[in-house]
Amino acid sequence: MTDRLATIGIIANPVSGRDIRRVAARGGISSTEDKRNRIARAVIGAVATGARHIVAMKEPFGIASGALADLRLEAKLEILDVGARVDPRDTERAALEMKHRGVDVVITLGGDGTNRTIAKVWPDATLVPMSTGTNNVFPSLAEPTVAGAAAGLVANGVVDIDVVAPRSKMIHLRLADGSEDVALVDAVTLANDFVGNRMPVNPTNLRQLLVAVARPDTIGVSSIAGLHASCDVDQDAAILVQCGDGGRWTNAPIAPGLYRKVPVVEVTRVGLGQEIDLVGPTTLAFDGDREHQISEQDPVVAVVRRDGPRVVNVGVALASGASQGIFFSDSSGDPSFDHGSAADPV
C-alpha cells in the first residue's frame, strides 16, 4: 500500500439501458433515478472499504453528480467534465481521462456494449461492471453496495488483484483493410442484416458465433452456445457455433422475454490464440451491436486472448477482505468504517 489516495472512477452513461431492444423484447429500462441510487450505494460501499477519491463522469442528466450530492463521505469527490454529448463516445472519453489520471478501479453502469467501449481504449482497466444493459453477460449482478465495497478493497491494494480481479478474455478481430476491433463476449456474423440495427437478432440470419463466455443461464447470443457447451470466464477457451440450413433447432433466450429457435449446425471448442476465419458477405455484430458490413472478398480473422480488462469478482474480493479482518475493529467508533450514510431515511 502507498500514501496515494485509493481512487474509484464512476462511468454511468445516460444512453446505457435505454435502446429500442427493450421495447422489441421485454428488457427493463433503467431510469435516471435508479442509476443515481445504484451509484450512491456503490460509492458508499467503496468509501466504507477505504476509497478516498471518487472521480465521476459529468453528463447533462446529472446521474453521478446527483448521486453524490447528498452523501456525507470522508472522500474527495470530483466530477469529471469530458464535454459529454450523450452518446457512446462519452464513455470512451471518460475512460481515457480516468486512465490518464491513474484511477485504480472503475465502476461502470451499463451492459456488454458499455464495457466493450471501455475495453477498446483501456484494455488494462480494472472494472466492477454493474448491469443495466439488455444482454448482460459481462457485468455483475451483485448488489451495488457490496460491489462498491469490493472496488474499494481492490483500489486500496489490500487484496491480491490477480486472485480477486483476473484479466478477462477478449475477442480480437482483424479486418481486411488492416483495422482492428474487439468484443468482450461474442462476435457474430449475420445474413440479411445491416450496421446500426438495434432490433433483436433474427435467429435464421445467424451464421457464425464466436463466444468467449458461454453459459446456459445467460441472455443473448452466448446462451445459444451455452445450451450446447459451457465455457466460463476462467476457462482458457472459447466456443464457435455454426448456424444455418439443416441445423438442429435450439430454443434459446436471445433477448429478455424472447425465446427463439436457432438452427445450430456445429459446435466447436477453440483454444486461446487460435485464429478463426469469419466469412462474408455478412454484417458483423460485437456484443449485440452491428458494427461492420463485410463483403465476400473481405477476410476477417478473429482470435480470443486473455488480455481484456481485469474484472473484480465481488464475492472473492469480499471473502478475501473478511479473511484478513478488514471489516473488524476493536472499537465501535472506528472512523474507518463509519462512512457514507446519506441523510437519515425517513
pLDDT by residue, tens only, the chain of 346 residues? 445 789 999 999 887 655 545 545 555 566 888 889 999 999 999 999 999 999 999 988 889 888 998 888 889 999 999 998 888 899 999 999 999 999 999 999 988 888 999 999 999 999 999 987 555 688 778 899 999 999 999 999 999 999 999 999 999 999 999 999 999 999 999 999 999 898 889 999 999 999 999 999 988 899 999 999 999 999 999 999 999 999 999 999 998 889 999 999 999 999 999 999 999 999 999 998 999 999 999 989 999 999 999 999 999 999 999 999 999 987 655 444 444 444 333 2
Nine-digit cell string for 288: 449485440
Nine-digit cell string for 144: 451495488
Q: Where in the chain is the domain with CATH 3.40.50?
A: 7-168+309-337
Contact in structure between 61 and 84 (CB atoms under 8 Å): no
Termini Cα distance of the chain: 39
Distance, CA of 52 to CA of 338 (rounded, Å): 13
pLDDT at residue 2, as a whole number = 47
Between strands 126-130 and 105-109, the pairing is parallel
CATH class, domain 7-168+309-337, is alpha beta
Q: Report the chain's C-alpha Rg in angstroms.
A: 21
**Cβ contacts of residue 185 below 8 Å, gap of 6+?**
112, 135, 137, 138, 211, 212, 213, 220, 221, 222, 287
**Cβ contacts of residue 290 below 8 Å, gap of 6+?**
190, 193, 194, 195, 196, 197, 283, 284
Q: Order across the sheet with 7-12: list the strands.
A: 76-80, 53-57, 7-12, 105-109, 126-130, 310-311
pLDDT at residue 334, as a whole number = 47
pLDDT at residue 333, as a whole number = 52
Q: Which amino acid is at 302?
A: A
Nine-digit cell string for 149: 465495497
Q: Which backbone phi and psi does 338 adopt, to 5 degrees? A: -140, 55
The pTM of the full predicted model, rounded to 2 decimals, is 0.89
Q: Where in the chain is the domain with CATH 2.60.200.30?
A: 170-305
Nine-digit cell string for 300: 476477417
pLDDT at residue 76, as a whole number = 93
Distance, CA of 172 to CA of 275 (rounded, Å): 10
3-state secondary structure of 64: helix
CATH 2.60.200.30 describes domain 170-305: yes
Distance, CA of 313 to CA of 315 (rounded, Å): 6
